[in-house]
Amino acid sequence: MRRALLLLPILLLFAANSRAQQSIAERLGYPRDAKLLIVHADDLGMAHSVNVATTKAFETGLVNSGSIMAPCPWLSEIADYARKNPQADLGLHLTLTSEWTSFRWGPVSPRDRVSSLLDKDGYFYLTETEAAAHADPKEVEMEITAQIERARALGIQLTHLDSHMGTLYQNKALFEILLRVARRQKLPVRIAKTWFARTDFLSSILTPDDVYIDRVLDINPSVAPGDWSKFYSDAIKNLEPGVTEIVIHLAYDDAEMRGATFNHPDWGAAWRQRDFEFFTSDAFRKLLQENQVKLITWRELGRLIK
Amino acid sequence: MRRALLLLPILLLFAANSRAQQSIAERLGYPRDAKLLIVHADDLGMAHSVNVATTKAFETGLVNSGSIMAPCPWLSEIADYARKNPQADLGLHLTLTSEWTSFRWGPVSPRDRVSSLLDKDGYFYLTETEAAAHADPKEVEMEITAQIERARALGIQLTHLDSHMGTLYQNKALFEILLRVARRQKLPVRIAKTWFARTDFLSSILTPDDVYIDRVLDINPSVAPGDWSKFYSDAIKNLEPGVTEIVIHLAYDDAEMRGATFNHPDWGAAWRQRDFEFFTSDAFRKLLQENQVKLITWRELGRLIK
């Protein structure tokens, strides 16, 4: 008994060290050189067009994960989908911004209790920098917890968390809240090892018990529409071993999306249609096969959380 | 001086009597037998499709009034229109229900201060009867006042008030709140003299100073889609003298509206497209001319309020 007690700290240290040395792929039970990919669609619940395009893409099996915006008007539609498709890998896209000027949303919490999160019109701020500059950390914690509770009350079985427009990665105080809430909820968070170099506070806050992936890829406005397929095809061909999440934005280039994004072509209606076309294509399916890329989900990553 | 004071109550009584005897058409300066019509589109701000179809119909001049739902996601879009078109006859469609199951909204006030207005998911109730059954009158007054304040803060110059799905006409307590708020804001309200017979509390609350119209017409689900034009054409041909408001619902039969109304054909996407087609047609313009119907707005009615 006494000998066992003496050994315990040594065993725990060994376990922690071994976990720290294991890659996330190995912790998931794959070889270290496996190329593992999550194809993740953001912004579910935002608009009908987003919900329909994304759930249609889920049917192909090529897009296999997504995250939901609880403050948005079409939450009920995607919650209904989630209840009918409990196997779907759905997380919460924690939302503290309302970025379209014609079409807006605000908090799940009572407005007067999260006033630091609201612009003069009573909606979330338009940009992540304004949101981060004004946000009272206590109000952020209340609001993101309320978003999680609303999603769960609607029967959505959450597998992960991430942050719309990256607001919760804007500074250390916000990131600490995200991580505290995620640990409390036992949910993995979109965090990539490659971010440690550019964002110094990440590695200081994370512990070997936290689950994070190797890298996150996304397209950006500098890619011309005509180079869309080439960008993504090159990304798949050059995929490094480990766990990668490719973050995409699906919707149709229809009246609703054009109305929402009319003055904002970046992440706009045509952008989302291009993403939809590439990620539901046979060309994408073939690329995954030819490059030995295996799709995994946040649900598998979540199982690593004790 | 003393004689004047003695005469004052008699003069006031005379003025009130004379106002009570005057028809609303006469109070507006028209002959008693004039056929005056407001062509009024409800539900602005609800959806992009509603905003685009309704403002397009305004351009024809044949639809000349509308009311806005302040809690809805597309309020900012219609507020922008209102600021650019200050001549538009726009009122507030006071909203205490959220009737589509896939697409929902909640209060402008802080949620915890109007909890009697909210269903278990934190949105307004689906139906006007549920809303009226649960509503705490103090919370109703706070919420509808907040909706008016939000609309005005966004630069909308309101000309009138009405009640989405008629929730505020469901009982005397709610109607009294609507009238109290309207009098305080010096705005006319959708009230028809023809309603007095079926809703006994109306005439007991109204005074000769209040402004109300003769009748409100709208189509209902018992009219088959093929009889749409006939219903409205007959209504114009048989229009009685006085002030009539015809209440219509405009939108396109597009993906967004079909998504919102998928399980609710009444007041659904196709319904609204039919309304749009009739009320922007040359046939409707001709009917107005042939039947000597003159279009008026709530702005003119509002000028009667002291």
DSSP codes, A116-128: GGB-TTSSBBSSH
Contact residues, chain A, for B260 at CB < 8 Å: 48
Please say if the pLDDT value at position A16 is more than 60: no
The SS3 of residue A5 is helix
Cα separation, A192 vs B186, whole angstroms: 58
Indicate if ipTM > 0.85.
Answer: yes
Contact residues, chain B, for A125 at CB < 8 Å: none
Decide if A256 and B154 are in contact by the 8 Å CB cutoff: no
**Tokens read off for B63:** 């639809």
Q: Which residues of A lie inside 8 Å of B (Cβ-Cβ)?
A: 47-49, 51-52, 72-77, 80, 101-105, 108-113, 120-123, 150, 153-154, 252, 254-256, 259-260
- Apex CA B211: angle with CA B301 and CA B152, to 5°? 60
**Mean pLDDT value across residues A152-168:** 98
Please say if the pLDDT value at position B14 is more than 90: no
Chains A and B form CB pairs within 8 A to the count of: 98
Of the pLDDT bands very low, low, confident and very high (cuts 50, 70, 90), residue A1 is: very low
**Mean pLDDT value across residues A221-233:** 97
* Chain A nearest-CA residue for B79: A102
* Chain B nearest-CA residue for A100: B76
Nearest to A49 among B111, B150, B255 (CB): B255
Please say if the pLDDT value at position B267 is more than 80: yes
Per-chain mean pLDDT for chain A: 94
**Tokens read off for B146:** 């907040």
Of the pLDDT bands very low, low, confident and very high (cuts 50, 70, 90), residue A147 is: very high
pLDDT at A209: 86
Decide if A48 and B122 are in contact by the 8 Å CB cutoff: no
**Tokens read off for B115:** 């909890």
pLDDT at B209: 86
Decide if B122 and A154 are in contact by the 8 Å CB cutoff: no
Nearest to B110 among A74, A112, A120 (CB): A112
Q: Which amino acid makes up residue B113?
A: R
Report H helices in A44-171: 48-60, 75-84, 128-134, 137-153
Of the pLDDT bands very low, low, confident and very high (cuts 50, 70, 90), residue B1 is: very low
Nearest of A127, A65, A79 to residue A101 by alpha carbon: A127
pLDDT tens, residue by residue, B53-98: 999 999 999 999 999 999 999 999 999 999 999 999 999 999 999 9
Please report which helix (H) or strand (E) contains residue B65, including its range. Answer: strand B65-68
**Mean pLDDT value across residues A45-66:** 98
Spatial contact of A132 and A167, defined as CB atoms under 8 Å apart: yes
Nearest to B112 among A110, A123, A154 (CB): A110
**Tokens read off for A99:** 């970025």
Spatial contact of B244 and B213, defined as CB atoms under 8 Å apart: yes
pTM score above 0.80: yes
Q: What percent of chain A has pLDDT over 70?
A: 93
Our CA-based measurement puts residue A89 at a distance from the nearest CA of chain B, in whole angstroms, of 20
- Apex CA B232: angle with CA B227 and CA B237, to 5°? 120
pLDDT at B2: 53
Our CA-based measurement puts residue A74 at a distance from the nearest CA of chain B, in whole angstroms, of 5
Cα separation, B186 vs B161, whole angstroms: 10
Cα separation, A64 vs A59, whole angstroms: 9
Our CA-based measurement puts residue A47 at a distance from the nearest CA of chain B, in whole angstroms, of 8
Name beta bridge partners: A97: A125
Our CA-based measurement puts residue B246 at a distance from the nearest CA of chain A, in whole angstroms, of 28
Please say if the pLDDT value at position A12 is more than 60: no
Of the pLDDT bands very low, low, confident and very high (cuts 50, 70, 90), residue A193 is: very high
Please say if the pLDDT value at position A8 is more than 80: no
Nearest to B105 among A47, A73, A110 (CB): A73
Nearest of B29, B44, B110, B7 to residue B272 by alpha carbon: B44
What Rg value do the Cα atoms of chain B yield, rounded? 20
Least confidently predicted of A134-143, B2-11, B19-28, B232-241:
B2-11
Our CA-based measurement puts residue A129 at a distance from the nearest CA of chain B, in whole angstroms, of 21
- Name the phi and psi angles at B291, rounded to 5: -105, 15
Task: Choose, out of A98, A103, A253, the residue to mutate when testing the contact with B (most B CBs < 10 Å).
Answer: A103
Contact residues, chain B, for A52 at CB < 8 Å: 255, 259
**Tokens read off for B288:** 């107005």
Q: How are beta strands B215-217 and B161-163 bridged, if at all?
A: unpaired
Cα separation, B245 vs B37, whole angstroms: 6
Cα separation, B134 vs B13, whole angstroms: 41
Our CA-based measurement puts residue A148 at a distance from the nearest CA of chain B, in whole angstroms, of 13
Decide if B52 and A105 are in contact by the 8 Å CB cutoff: no
Decide if B112 and A113 are in contact by the 8 Å CB cutoff: yes
**Mean pLDDT value across residues B241-264:** 97
Contact residues, chain A, for B110 at CB < 8 Å: 110-113
Spatial contact of A67 and A187, defined as CB atoms under 8 Å apart: no
Of the pLDDT bands very low, low, confident and very high (cuts 50, 70, 90), residue A199 is: confident
Cα separation, A44 vs A160, whole angstroms: 14
Nearest of A227, A248, A223 to residue A38 by alpha carbon: A248
Cα separation, A72 vs A52, whole angstroms: 15
Q: How are beta strands A161-163 and A35-44 bridged, if at all?
A: unpaired
- Residue A119, sorted as left (phi over 0), alpha (psi -120 to 50) or beta, turns out to be beta
Q: Which amino acid makes up residue A141?
A: E
* Chain A nearest-CA residue for B98: A73
pLDDT at A164: 98
Contact residues, chain B, for A109 at CB < 8 Å: 111
- In Å, how far from its chain's centre is CA B155? 19
Contact residues, chain B, for A153 at CB < 8 Å: 120-121
Please say if the pLDDT value at position B11 is more than 60: no
Q: What percent of chain B has pLDDT over 70?
A: 93
Contact residues, chain A, for B259 at CB < 8 Å: 48, 51-52, 74, 77
Contact residues, chain A, for B105 at CB < 8 Å: 73
Report H helices in chain B: 2-21, 24-27, 48-60, 75-84, 128-134, 137-153, 172-185, 195-198, 201-205, 228-237, 255-260, 269-279, 282-290, 298-302
Per-chain mean pLDDT for chain B: 94
DSSP state of B241: S
- Residue A85, sorted as left (phi over 0), alpha (psi -120 to 50) or beta, turns out to be beta
Please report which helix (H) or strand (E) contains residue B248, including its range. Answer: strand B242-248
Decide if B255 and A77 are in contact by the 8 Å CB cutoff: no
Please say if the pLDDT value at position A194 is more than 70: yes
The SS3 of residue A139 is helix
